Chains A and B, each alone.
Chain A
Amino acid sequence: MTMQGSKPAALPPVVSTPVFAAMPKVSRLRPIIAQVLPPLLVLAVLIAAWQFLASGPNATLPPPTKVWADARDLIVDPFYDRGGLDKGLFWHLLASLQRVALGFALAAVAGILLGLLVGTSDFAMRGLDPIFQVLRTVPPLAWLPLALAAFREAQPSAIFVIFITSIWPIIINTAVGVRNVPQDYRNVAAVIRLRGPAFFWKIVLPAAAPYIFTGLKIGIGLSWLAIIAAEMLIGGVGIGFFIWDAWNSSNLSDIIVALTYVGLVGFALDRIVALAGRFATRGTSAS
């Protein structure tokens, strides 16, 4: 509403320059408000609906007011640490993020290399693609028992689950990107006689980069899905086990707070990879 008051429309149009000078102020703020207002409004409506639905005598889930009352400590102070598993959400999220970071980094390196191999060599394509197509449909958690048997420890098993979950979209997208270098770019390279490694570095890799980052973006999303489930099973510090632990002590409010954090962190991870992609591909990759 304060926006309305600062409109320059009230200025008398005697001299044109002051009007122009006042114009950008409004036009710069308005798009921001247009962006921020709708999600805030929808969020308010959803919370109101939740409050209404969860307030009845037969409601099984706590309303927002109860969540706030129950889990206030958890919401306002994510950094407390009382030893053992009694830590703020920040520490749980940090532990989960460390596992994801390690598993995803390994998957990114191995996935891009394998993708480049499959994309450039027909033999590798025919030999490996059927195996990839079968393995990629195995659900992440199905790998966990095998990983636990192989590593005999929770931490590397969780990291392996992240790795094996996120590697497939990275491999497949990288290979597609390498195979789909547009004929136009190949023609340009042919005319200026770019061949061999120079062709690969200057044409193939930049042309495939948007695809690679699409694979990374899908991969980081899957990692975050998988780590929560894996941690529920392996225990220890981590947001997944925190949720499972809260469920076992019937602490529904804590679960709701944790889910909110999980969603926000997942969204942040997705944006970070998208931003990295836009930066690395110099704006040619779609976010």
Chain B
Amino acid sequence: MERFLEISQLSVAFPKAPVPVLREIDLQIARGEYVAVIGHSGCGKSTLLNVIAGLLPATAGGVVLEGREIDGPGPDRAVVFQNHSLLPWLTCYENVRLAVDQTLSRAMSRAKRHEWVLENLALVRMTAAKDKRPNEISGGMKQRIGIARALSMKPKVLLLDEPFGALDALTRAHLQDQVMAIHASLGTTVVMITHDVDEAVLLSDRIVMLTNGPNARVGEILDVDLPRPRDRLALAADLRFVAARTAVLEFLHARHTNPALAAA
């Protein structure tokens, strides 16, 4: 496999905790691949994503992107945060524009940047609401702006941290379809953190299942060889879809039950 994004022997420990959150994680991700990381709450999924983003330092091991070791955050690994993290004093357009101005000012002229912002807003179908502020739009729309902002940085890897977690089921399905379409047209490499089994199977090429933390490791990696484009209605009855879904469910609920739930 081509080594595009490589996580090797990665351990992450927090200063005062006796046991590391993540231990010796190994994972290779190819260019253009869509990888989902799934696990119970508290297993360190978000920690893993934050290390790839460069927002958290690795305790041991490391992450290499295109041959360069990651030592801090940067626009080549754009993050879509779970709580959207839009700046409330800026309009939707300005939120994206700030990221574009900051990351692409050398590569593009002013007029080009303006067009590029509009192009990205159109990609997530938010052109109509571009001059609204985040508190004037719905949660799903905020997340779409978050995605537009991340994509507008022309990242090598798009990092999604439970991007649809806070949304209702219908909005979530709609956004999942949009992300699939964007992934199909742009071919961006995506690492997505999720706790939703259906979402992981529907969107991903591979599903990385983490064991329970602390001391979480890669328990199993499942290849989802469903043809793209995928259609959620057609897949619902597809045996390969059902089998993949069952495999993930079995990992999560039979072999690695949520410790918090087991204790309750």
Contacts and interface: CB of A to CB of B under 8 A. Distances in A.
Interface of A: 184-185, 187-188, 190-194, 198, 202-203, 206-207, 209, 281-284
Contacts of A187: 55, 73, 79, 81, 85
A188 B85 contact: yes
A282 B133 contact: yes
B87 A191 contact: no
B89 A284 contact: yes
Contact of A284 (B77, B85, B88): B88
B79 A283 contact: no
A191 B89 contact: no
Given A192-B98, A192-B99, A185 B75 contact: no
A206 B89 contact: yes
B127 interface: no
B208 interface: no
A153 B79 CA distance: 61
A206 B79 CA distance: 22
B75 A209 contact: no
Interface of B: 53-55, 72-75, 77-79, 81, 83, 85, 87-89, 98-99, 102-103, 133, 135, 153
A284 B91 CA distance: 12
Interface of B is mostly: loop
Contacts of B135: 283-284
Given A282-B133, A283-B133, A193 B102 contact: yes
B55 A190 contact: yes
A85 to B, nearest CB: 47
Nearest to A187: B55
B81 A193 contact: no
A202 B101 CA distance: 12
Nearest to A185: B87
B89 A209 contact: yes
A192 B55 contact: no
Nearest to A281: B89
A193 B103 contact: yes
Contacts of B88: 284
A284 B135 CA distance: 9
Contacts of A185: 85, 87
Given A190-B55, A191-B74, A282 B89 contact: yes
Nearest to A198: B102
Contacts of B81: 184, 187-188
